[in-house]
Amino acid sequence: MSAEASEREPGLRALVREAEVSLLECKVCFEKFSHEKNRRPRNLTCGHVICLGCVTALVQPRTRTLECPFCRKAGKSSETSDCLPLLQFLELLGPVLRAPPSSGAGAAREPRDPAAKWAPGALTCSHSFGGWGTLINPTAMALCPRSGRVVIVHDGRKRVKVFDSDGICAHQFGEKGEAAQDVRYPLGVTVTSDGHVVITDAGDRSVKVFDFSGQNKLVIGGRFSLPWGVQTTPQKEIMVSDAEAGSLHLLVVDFQKGELRRAERLLAHLCNPRALAVSPITGAIAVTEHLLAQGPCPASTRVKVFSPGLQLLGQVDTFGLSLFIPSKIDATAVTFDHQGNVIVADTTSQAIVCLGKPEEFPVLKPIITQGLSYPVALTYTEDNSLLVLDSGVHVVKVYKADCSR
C-alpha cells in the first residue's frame, strides 16, 4: 500500500463508519440493514425507513396498519416497500464493510498503557426488564431515593413509567398531548428525595414537576431553549442543562405548594450540554458536551466536572482519550458511583467506562464491554448495582459485581 493510500484509509474508514451509523441501521431496533429478510430496509408511507422485522412487529393484527415510530403517521403494511437506494448502497459498500482494518500505517495503534486496554469489565448482567412495547425508544431514567423504584420516560402514550424492584410496571402517567400538563417529548428525568418526578420536555421547552402518583404540580416554561439533562442536588434543588442555549440552570422549587422560588443561570458558554449528573457524596457536577464538527475534525463529546462552587475540576475529550484508546468516545450518559468516580456510557464502543475521580482524569477503566446496543442512561442503586437504560433494545439492564473475578 502506498503512503498516500495509507494516509487516506483512516478518513475513508471513518466515512464508512459514519454511513453505517447514520444510514445503514434501523433506528428502531438499531440492527444493521442487510439483504436478509427481516433486516431489509423498508420505506414507510411517510418516508421514514425501518427494517422489515420492525415493520412486522409494529403491524396491528386486526387492521394490518402500523404507526410510524418517529412521526406517528398511520399507514398500511401493504403500502411499505423495499428501500432500493439503501439496498444498492449496501451492495456498493459490501466489500468495505466486510474488510478488516489495515495493519499498515493507517491502522489504529494500541493503547500506550497496557492496563487501559479494552478488557472485559468487572460487572455482569444479572437480569433485565422492559422490552419493546413496554418501553418505546426510552430516553432517560432515574431512581426514586425513597422507594427504590425506577422511573423511565419514553415515547409511549403514557410518557412516564414507574417500575418496582422486580421490574414490574407499578403505574404510568404523563399523557402524550398538547396541553400544558401533558408530556410531549421527554429528554430527561430525575426524582427528588420526597418523591417528586421532574421532567425536561423538549416538545414545549419546559420543565414539568409531578408528584409520584402522576399529578402535575408545576410547569416551568419560557426560560429554556432546549432543556435536556435534569438532576437533583443534595440540597434538594433542581439542575437543568439547556443544550441549545449552552447553559446550566438551577431551580429552587417549593414542591408542596407547586411554586418556583428561584431560577438562576449557573454556567454559560457550554457547547451543547446534554447529560447531567450530580454526585450525592461531594455535590460535584458532571456535564457531557457535544462538540460540532469543525473542518477536518469530526463531531465529538467532552465530559466536564465542576465543584459545587462551579470551579472546573477536570475534563476529558476525544483528543485526551486518544492517548489511551484507538477510537473516540461518544458519551451519551454520565453518572457518579458510590466512590465518586465518573462513569460514562459510550455508544461508539457500546461500553460503560469509568473515567476515575476528576482529579485523576483520565483513568479509563472499562467496566462493561459487551451486551449493550445503545446505552442512554445510567444510575446506581443503594446496593451498588448499576442500571443501564439500553434504548437500542428498549430495556433496562441490571449489572452487579462479578465476585468470581
Mean pLDDT, residues 81-96 taken together? 73
Looking at this protein, which amino acid is placed at residue 193? Answer: S
Supply the pLDDT for residue 107. 38
- Enter the C-alpha cell of residue 159: 410518557
What Cα–Cα distance (Å) separates residue 100 from each residue in 9, 14, 109, 110, 117?
12, 13, 15, 16, 19
Coil, helix or strand for 126?
strand
pTM greater than 0.75: no
Cα separation, 285 vs 277, in Å, equals: 6
Supply the pLDDT for residue 48. 86
Domains and CATH numbers, the chain: 14-94 (3.30.40.10), 124-401 (2.120.10.30)
Supply the pLDDT for residue 115. 37
Supply the pLDDT for residue 327. 61
Mean pLDDT, residues 321-328 taken together? 62
Supply the pLDDT for residue 165. 86
Supply the pLDDT for residue 133. 87
Of 191-200, 323-332, 348-357, give the lowest mean pLDDT range. Answer: 323-332
Mean pLDDT, residues 20-26 taken together? 75
Percent of the chain with pLDDT over 90: 49
The 3-class secondary structure across 277-299, one letter per residue, is EECCCCCCEEEEEEECCECCECC
163-174 confidence digits (pLDDT tens): 998 899 999 999
Cα separation, 121 vs 107, in Å, equals: 25
**Which of 94-108, 198-212, 296-310 reaches the highest mean pLDDT?**
198-212
342-358 confidence digits (pLDDT tens): 999 998 888 999 998 98
Supply the pLDDT for residue 330. 85
Of 120, 122, 162, nearest to 144 by C-alpha is 162
User: Distance from CA of residue 59 to its chain's centroid?
Assistant: 27
Higher-pLDDT residue of 337, 53: 337
Supply the pLDDT for residue 29. 78
Of 34-48, 236-250, 263-277, give the lowest mean pLDDT range. Answer: 34-48
What is the CA angle 310-316-317, rounded to 5?
120
Q: Where are the beta strands (DSSP E) in 195-258?
A: 197-201, 206-210, 216-220, 227-232, 238-242, 247-254
344-403 confidence digits (pLDDT tens): 999 888 899 999 898 887 777 889 988 999 999 999 999 999 999 999 899 999 999 865
Cα separation, 168 vs 388, in Å, equals: 16
235-260 confidence digits (pLDDT tens): 899 999 999 999 999 999 999 999 99
Coil, helix or strand for 101?
coil
